[in-house]
Each structure stands twice: as structure tokens, then as C-alpha cells.
Structure 1
Amino acid sequence: MTTPTERSSLAYRDLETLSAGGMLTAMLEGQEAALSAVRAALPALDRAVEAAAARLADPQSRLVYVGAGTSGRIAMLDGIELYPTFGWPEERSAFLLAGGEASMAEARESAEDDEDAGRAAIAGLDCRAGDVVVGLAASGSTPYTLAAIDEARGRGALTIGLANNPGAALLDRAEIGVLLETGPEVLAGSTRMAAGTSQKIAMNLFSTAIMMRLGRVYRGLMVDMIPSNQKLKRRAIAMLMQVADCGEEAALDALGKTGFHVKPAVLVVRGLSPEDAMAALDRNGGDLHRAFAELDNNG
């Protein structure tokens, strides 16, 4: 039986005969379906975020992404951005892409059928109970991804599966299944479109919410970002001036003492030494809200 993401939609059977404007309008309608699918999946994403954040509070835990083809590339893109955006340690992220990292730039569609490779990839990480493993597959039946999720779950890791077809095996075999029901694509079977867009939106929400839960955001600002270029250094200065309500000179002084790390610099402006600022953050799980509450309670 053909799955919804592989079916043709009668509404778009003459898509290629339309004007350019007509084609674009039709494809945009498909993209709108992606947003609706994510909205319907919010309760499942909520469960996934809370469960993942609880595991990842352990500094030894890791966030592992698994996928093949478009889904795998979307997963890897999400994970790669966590270090510069939130300062998430690179050693606490892993990316398992069917066919290896070369598949990021070159399509290797046959690699998704290799179940042994999926199991071996998880085993090679020494995946363990503290880890969170997220598998993405539009069909929800990709052998590589299913095997990786099975292996990870057997090792006690929290497993989360995102798929676009109701009843997909991935939704059942992961501990938490997230259905992104986008239905038939405007271009039949091209899951890089609505299905892919829904996965990108869902992963943006998922990982960003986890980083917030783990104290890597303060007042809507990326206080753990890595200021690796001049643009980001200017952003760090402006961020610190806003959060600490200080002038540029004080911000530059504090940032200079903390290696341009905004979060401890906020506490340095408050009067702590760089060492005491880091100690306060360590005691409070890296959460500025809690660190400030501790300072206020201590007078």
C-alpha cells in the first residue's frame, strides 16, 4: 500500500503545465501544510522536549541525530548549529548519516537500506542510557534509521522518532513518536518539500526549547553563543549592555575577563570575579535566573 508521502495528489496532477506563478502558488500551498502538521504535533514535541531536557541535564549525556537522505541532512544541520548558537559542547553532539558525512553533499540513497550500518553507528558511539537519540525519516520506515533507533533504545537511551506517515514503524519503535502528517506532496514523493520543511520546523522548535530548558537562553537572548567573528562580538557587547544595563565600556571590560562569554560577564558586571561568576553558574546548572536568585537571597 502506498504511503501518504508517496501518493500523487489529484489537485496537482498537471502542476508542470501551469504558469511559473501557478507552480509557485501550488508549491507554497504544500509548504503551508508543513506548518499545520507541526502545529498538530506540538503535544508530542512537548513530551519530547521535557524528556530530552531531563536526560541532557547530565553533563555526560549526548544528543545524537540519525537519518538518511534529506531527513539526515536536516538533522545534521540542526545539530551543527547548536554549538555556535548556544555554546552546546561539540563533544556532546553526534550525527549519524546513512552513507557517512559524504552524504551531506552527495546523495547516496542506497545507504538508507543498510540496517547493519545503523546498528554499528550507534554501537560505535558507545551509546548509553544518558543519551538522547533523535531519528528522522519522512516515510518512517527507513531501515538504517529504524535499526539505529532499535539499537539505541536497547542500550537504554531516550529515543525520539519524527515521521510524516501515520502508523509509521519509527513512531512505534522510538520511545516518543512525533507524527508530522503532511500528506501527499505537491510533487509526488518529493519529501524534501512539505515533509522536509515540517521536519526543519519541528527540529528548530525541539532543539531551541531544549536549550532554553537547560538555561542557555536568558530573556530571549543567546547568552551562551560563541562570538567567533566581529559581527557576533558586537552582538555580545549589545546583549550584555541590555541584560546587565551597563555601558559599552563596562561591557567590554567584563567580556574581556570572561573570554567574551556573555553569561558569566553578566555576573561580573554585577560585581563578581570571573571565577566566582563561573562558580555561581556551575552551582545553578548554568541558569542565570537561578544564579541571580541566589545572589539576591545572599544579600
Structure 2
Amino acid sequence: MPNDSSRLDALLEVLAQLDTEAVTSERGDLDLLDTAELVRRMNAEDQGVSIAVAERADEIARAVDGITQRFRRGGRLIYIGAGTAGRIGVLDASECPPTFGTDPSMVVGLIAGGDTAIRSAVEDAEDDADAAEQELRALGLTERDTVVGISASGRTPYVVGGLRYARGIGALTAAIASNHNSDIGAAAKIAIEIVTGPEFISGSTRLKAGTAQKLVVNMLTTLSMIKLGKTYRGVMVDLVVTNEKLHARSIRTVMQLAGVGIDDATQALRLAGGSVKLALLTLATGADVERATAALSAADGILREAILALS
């Protein structure tokens, strides 16, 4: 926190220039509206978020291609952020192993203040410009990795410091901000600046800014995983079966994509050791598990290419 009047004045000046901190006159009557009208107004505000994200499609595509290239070289995707932005990165990272069958170390979320900050606010942690660098060093960051910084204001010291360190050692860097000409955008190679405008509640960047951040991180991991062959015909084929629902989904996936009944799907999955992708390949080509496994390996795990190779 600022500890003298000059620093406070400087911070106030910065905040006054941020779209996410703006106060607009049309929201001055929110406390007087009935609930249905509040719902309509907030929903109307949210409808502009996807449009704002679409305007940054080229930058997002560049990031996806860069992330995919580094994944293929054994690199990782590491999110860094504070508060809501940090939690969004942690959430996206935590969903990758069950969805795509990835190792937990492949996509990592770092949040200012550590794991405690996932559930409880650690507001001053974001001001530590050196903390992210220390955490990235501890992870053994290399030039094969990608670091994506997330900050609605675009000026969070924790994120700026981490991106500068990552870029300095040659890692790919990208920044997701909600304001133009952001500090994190300047620190990163790829600036994804999605200006969603004043928040429904001024300064509450868990709203439109947070929604935009969630849409972008969804794209970064989902689209890179598609390019890595983690899906087939729009369906997850590398999911990890960890509960009854996912077991049923794996059987259903094999039934749908291979056009077989439940008995054949269950048998193929059993022989494939529970691998949906391997079961599909054996059913599509008639190859045994050993031959299918070798074909998948030669195709870098891309099912479509393995099917062509065995057909």
C-alpha cells in the first residue's frame, strides 16, 4: 500500500486512467431498481464480453500456436496472477489433467500469496514484484516454457515482475489485460488486451474482466490441446477416468465414435487399459493393442493420423 502522499497521488492518477475503474452515470440508480431489471442490465453488460474477446482473436491465435510449439518440445504453460486473475489461472490449470489426461506439471497456476490466496484474499501479495520471479525460478523455468500473466488492471507488480523475468530467459510470454497500453502487455511478447469497459460495479474486475480472462484461458488450453491431438471429432479422447461418471463417459465416447455397442466398447477399453484413444484406434483399424500403441506413438498421439497410418 502507498505509504506517503506522493505515492498515493500517483496511484490515484493511474486508477483514474483505467477503464475498469471508471464510474458511469447510468449505473447511479442500481440500488433503486427491482431485481429483474438488475438481472437484465447486468446480462446486457456481459453480452459485450465475447465481442471484446473476438477483437483479439489474432493475438490469442499467436499465443495458442506458441504454447503448442513449446508443449511439443516438452515445455509447460504457467499462469501467473493475483486475486481473481490468479484464481482463474489456477482453475484452468487444475482442469487440464482430468480433461486432457495431462501431467499436473504441464499446466501450472501461480497466484500471488500462494495457495492460501485461492480461498482467502491476500491483497498485499500482488505488490511484491519479486515473488513471481522467485516462484518461476523454483519451478526451473526455461526457454521451452510459456508464461501467461493475467491482470485486469494490467499493472500488477507480481505479474509484471514475473513476465520480465520469463522473457529475459527466453520463455514465451503473453499477457491478458483489460486495459489498453498495459504494463503487463509491454512486458510480454504477446499482448492480449481485452477492453471490456467499466464494470457493472466500478472496479469489481471479477465481473466482465474476469469473464474475459476465463474465456481466453479456456481458448489457450483447449485449442492447444486440440492441436496436440487430445480430442477427436470434437470429443475428449485423453480424459482420465477417475470416477463413475468419467468411466461411463469413456464407454459412451467409444460407442459414439466407433459406432459399436456397449459390450464391444467395454471390451476394447479393457484391452486398451482404459485408454479411450487406444480403444478407438483398435476398433477403427482392427489393429491389436501393441500395434496400435506403436502407431499412436509414431503419430505423436494424434488419433486421426494413426488411423490413416494403419488403414
TM-score, normalised by the number of residues in structure 1: 0.95
* 1:86/1:211 contact within 8 Å kept: yes
Aligned counterparts of 1:278 and 1:133: Cα–Cα separation in 2: 32
Equivalent residue in structure 1 for 2:168, among 146, 154, 157: 154
Matches within 5 A, 1:102-121: 102-121=116-135
Matches within 5 A, 1:130-279: 130-269=144-283, 270-279=285-294
- Partner residue of 2:3? none
Q: What per-residue deviation string (whole Å, max 9, x for no partner) do you get for residues 62-84 of structure 1?
A: 11111100000011111111111
* 2:89/2:110 contact within 8 Å kept: no
Runs of 4+ in structure 1 displaced over 6 angstroms?
none
SS at match of 1:190: coil
Q: What per-residue deviation string (whole Å, max 9, x for no partner) do you get for residues 229-277 of structure 1?
A: 1111111111112222222222111111222110011122232232322
- Partner residue of 1:14? 29
> Aligned AA for 1:106?
S
Matches within 5 A, 1:52-131: 52-58=67-73, 60-131=74-145
SS at match of 1:81: helix
Structure 2's unaligned 5+ residue stretches are 1-12
Matched residues, percent identical?
39
Structure 1's unaligned 5+ residue stretches are none
Q: How many pairs does the alignment contain?
A: 295
Equivalent residue in structure 2 for 1:282, among 285, 293, 297: 297
Higher relative contact order, structure no. (Cα contacts within 8 Å, ≥ 6 residues apart): 1
TM-score, normalised by the number of residues in structure 2: 0.92
Aligned counterparts of 1:96 and 1:141: Cα–Cα separation in 2: 17
- Shift in Å at residue 92 of structure 1? 1.6
Aligned counterparts of 1:217 and 1:128: Cα–Cα separation in 2: 28
- Shift in Å at residue 173 of structure 1? 1.1
Aligned counterparts of 1:16 and 1:8: Cα–Cα separation in 2: 15
Aligned counterparts of 2:129 and 2:61: Cα–Cα separation in 1: 30
Q: What per-residue deviation string (whole Å, max 9, x for no partner) do you get for residues 141-179 of structure 1?
A: 000011111111111111111000011111121111101
> Aligned AA for 1:255?
L
